Amino acid sequence: MEKGAAFAAVMMAMAVLATTTTGALQVQFSEAEKAQFVQLHNDARAAVGVRTAVAWNEALAAKALEHARYCRKEHIPGPYGENLWWGWSSAAGWVGTPADAMHIYIYIYIY
């Protein structure tokens, strides 16, 4: 898998995991949320000189959601990389936002 495609796989897997908080809760992303994930990823990539943009991939999103249903804090074998993110809140119904996940990945993670 070429670097751009591998990075897209990592990002999209993380994106789906980011807003699924329990095995019982299944989140469907709106088109606006999908666009926000992609835009945040592409902005972060551009900031470090990566010119190839990523796009949302429904098949990859479905695979990540399948993994998220079990809430395992471990990577699964397969052709995709993963960045796992867990969010927590005592607020009823809170599931996180694309920006919540990306803030952790972009601004706190040290390369």
How much is the pTM?
0.59
| 46-101 confidence digits (pLDDT tens) | 988 999 999 999 988 888 777 777 766 777 777 777 666 666 667 666 666 777 77
Share of the chain above pLDDT 70, in %: 52
Helices and strands (H and E) in the chain: how many: 4, 0
Q: What is the number of domains present in the chain?
A: 1
Q: Which domain holds residue 18?
A: 3-108
Give the dihedral sign, CA 96/75/9/66. Answer: negative
Residue 27 banded pLDDT, cuts 50, 70, 90: low
